[in-house]
Structures are given as structure tokens and as C-alpha cells.
Amino acid sequence: MLKASGIAKSFGGNEILRGISLDVERGELISIIGPSGCGKSTFLRCLNFLEHPDAGEVQVEGVTVASTGQWRRADEVKAHRLRGHVGMVFQSFNLFPHRTVLENVMLAPIQVKRMEEQTAHRIACELLEKVGLAAVQNRYPDRLSGGQQQRAAIARALAMKPSVMLYDEPTSALDPELSEEVLSVMRALDAEGMTQLVVTHDMRFARAASDRVLFMEAGQIVESGDPDVMFANPREPGTRRFLRTLL
Ligand SMILES: Nc1ncnc2c1ncn2[C@@H]1O[C@H](COP(=O)(O)OP(=O)(O)O)[C@@H](O)[C@H]1O
Ligand SMILES: [Mg+2]
């Protein structure tokens, strides 16, 4: 359902992504792990063209966007269509601070999809119920815990009815018990068949919840596979080194 091929990106002459290809099946939960600075965030951002790759192609739900290095208006139009199928969640939540939780979730469907306010309200309430925030839906983000803010950010992304969700270290800013609230929402989405790609430092989650783990190093996916197999028996020296430093 998501296919990336040959994604390459340099910053100031440094090759950060060295032609990454990835096929994601519908319903998969994939964890992306790897040392800091290896290009995980850049890769995730290239998948929905928040960052323009220098080369490569991304296909989501039949929308294909190819990058030739030159970014033209027609590419931006297609990238906009592709983004409509992709939800993104960041480490720092990025909620609108001057909007209530409910308003945060209603905003994009109304403004981007021209959804009727009543419909957007109904969908937002359902989603907030689902992520356990119905009781605090009229609060402003700064009145919520980090775990609640991140669950609101997930509900906001879901309100656009994405086919795939991308998460960039969704629990890195959270204490363990608050992380757990967020991870359990992601597990519930997985059980419903949502397709999810998660950059994470939480190896327990990566091992227990993922269908597949990708280990990235220096702008490449150097190993990928079943989490139990990879964690018990990493094949590549880089993976071994990385997993050893975590213990
Ligand atoms: N906008 C940017 N301009 C210049 N360098 C960048 C930019 N974004 C990322 N980088 C560099 O690219 C490398 C990979 O970054 P990143 O994708 O954030 O890694 P990770 O998420 O794995 O920690 C780092 O060396 C970072 O400094
Ligand atoms: Mg990162």
C-alpha cells in the first residue's frame, strides 16, 4: 500500500539517505530503529514530501510522486494528494495551542476537506472517545499531560482518514507510564488493521508490537526482518553493535 524506491537526500553535500527502498503492506506495523543521526526522521519526512528527496519515488494508494531533484508546481499538487493519505505524528505533539483538543481534531477536515462542521464534530468526538480523551476534549493542550497531548495528535491525524500513519519518536518526550498510553493506542489501531510506520527508541515496543523491524545506519536500511529474529540474532555487525549499546 506504500512503496518507496530509491529515496536519496543530501544536505550541503552530505549524503543523508542513500537510495532507500521499502514496500509496506496494508495493516503492517513497522518499527524503524537505528542510531541518532542515521536519517530516520529525514526518511519519514521524505515519505510524505515534507522534505523533498533528491531522487526516488513514493507511491501511496495509487498516487505516485517521483522526485528528480527539481521540484515543480505539478509535483507539489501530487504531493498534496499523497499527503491526504498519510497521517503524521511528531515527538513534540505540535498541537495548535490556542485551540481546544476538539478544535484541533476538527480543524483539518473542515479547512482541508471542506467537511461540514457537524460531521467533523461527530468524527472528532468518536476519535477522541477512541483514544480515551472524551472527558478532556474541551481543554487546551497545555492543560493536558504529554501522553494526552500525543493521543490528541494521533486523533487529529486520524481525522483525515489516512491509509498509513507515520510516527517520529512518538514517545521520546514522555515518561514511561505516559508512553504506555500512547503505545496502547497504536496497538489498538494495529488490531483494527491500520498501516503504521514508527521511528522509535522503545525496543520493547519494537520487539513486541511490530510485524517487521528495519535497522537503519548511515542513510540505508541495513537489516530488516521479524523482530524476534532480529533482536535475538542480529545478522549485520551494525545491528549487533547498536543493540548491544542499548543493553
Ligand atoms: N534540514 C537539514 N539541514 C541540514 N542537515 C540536516 C537537516 N535535517 C537533517 N540533517 C542532518 O541529516 C542527518 C540525519 O538526520 P535525521 O534524519 O534527523 O536523523 P535521525 O532521525 O536518525 O536522528 C543528521 O546528520 C542531521 O544533522
Ligand atoms: Mg530523528
Q: Which of 16, 45, 50, 200 to mutate to test the pocket of ligand 1 (most atoms within 8 A of CB)?
A: 16
Would you say 47 and 92 are in contact if contact means Cβ atoms under 8 Å apart?
Answer: no
Whole-angstrom Cα distance, residue 206 to residue 216? 14
Would you say 77 and 63 are in contact if contact means Cβ atoms under 8 Å apart?
Answer: no
Q: How far is the CA of 41 from the centre of ligand 2 (A)?
A: 4
| Atom 6 of ligand 1, nearest CA residue | 11
Q: How far is the CA of 42 from the centre of ligand 2 (A)?
A: 7
Burial of 74 by CB count in 10 Å (0-12 exposed, 13-18 middle, 19+ buried)? exposed
Give the residue-averaged pLDDT of 225-242: 96
Q: Which range (23-27, 68-72, 106-110, 184-188) has the least confidence? A: 68-72
Single out the residue of 90, 96, 92 nearest to residue 44, CA to CA: 90
| Secondary element (H or E) of residue 121 | helix 117-130
| Secondary element (H or E) of residue 168 | strand 164-168
| Atom 8 of ligand 1, nearest CA residue | 42
Whole-angstrom Cα distance, residue 179 to residue 197? 17
| Atom 4 of ligand 1, nearest CA residue | 11
Would you say 53 and 46 are in contact if contact means Cβ atoms under 8 Å apart?
Answer: yes
**Domain ranges within the chain, ordered by starting residue:** 1-37+163-247, 96-161
| Atom 1 of ligand 1, nearest CA residue | 11
Ligand nearest to the CA of 45: 1
- The per-residue pLDDT for 150 is 97
| Atom 2 of ligand 1, nearest CA residue | 11
Would you say 60 and 2 are in contact if contact means Cβ atoms under 8 Å apart?
Answer: yes
Q: How far is the CA of 134 from the centre of ligand 2 (A)?
A: 31
Would you say 173 and 92 are in contact if contact means Cβ atoms under 8 Å apart?
Answer: yes
- The per-residue pLDDT for 68 is 82
| Atom 18 of ligand 1, nearest CA residue | 41
| Secondary element (H or E) of residue 19 | strand 14-24
This prediction's pTM: 0.96
- The per-residue pLDDT for 53 is 95
Tell whether the model's pLDDT for residue 51 goes beyond 80. yes
The CA angle 200-203-209, to the nearest 5 degrees, is: 85
Q: Which residues on adjacent β-strands are paired with residue 23? A: 3
The cell for 45 is 519526512
Please tell me whether residue 48 adopts helix, strand or coil conformation.
Answer: coil
Ligand nearest to the CA of 172: 2
Q: Determine whether domain 1-37+163-247 maps to CATH 3.40.50.300.
A: yes
Q: How far is the CA of 216 from the centre of ligand 1 (A)?
A: 13
Please tell me whether residue 87 adopts helix, strand or coil conformation.
Answer: strand
Instruction: Provide residues with CB under 6 Å of ligand 1.
Output: 11, 16, 36-42
Whole-angstrom Cα distance, residue 62 to residue 204? 34
Please tell me whether residue 127 adopts helix, strand or coil conformation.
Answer: helix
Mean pLDDT of the chain, nearest integer: 96
Q: How far is the CA of 40 from the centre of ligand 2 (A)?
A: 5
Give the residue-averaged pLDDT of 34-45: 97
Report the percent of the chain where pLDDT is more than 70.
100
Would you say 182 and 171 are in contact if contact means Cβ atoms under 8 Å apart?
Answer: yes
Residues 127-168: tens digit of each pLDDT: 999 999 999 999 999 999 999 999 999 999 999 999 999 999
What atom in ligand 1 is closest to the CA of residue 34? 22
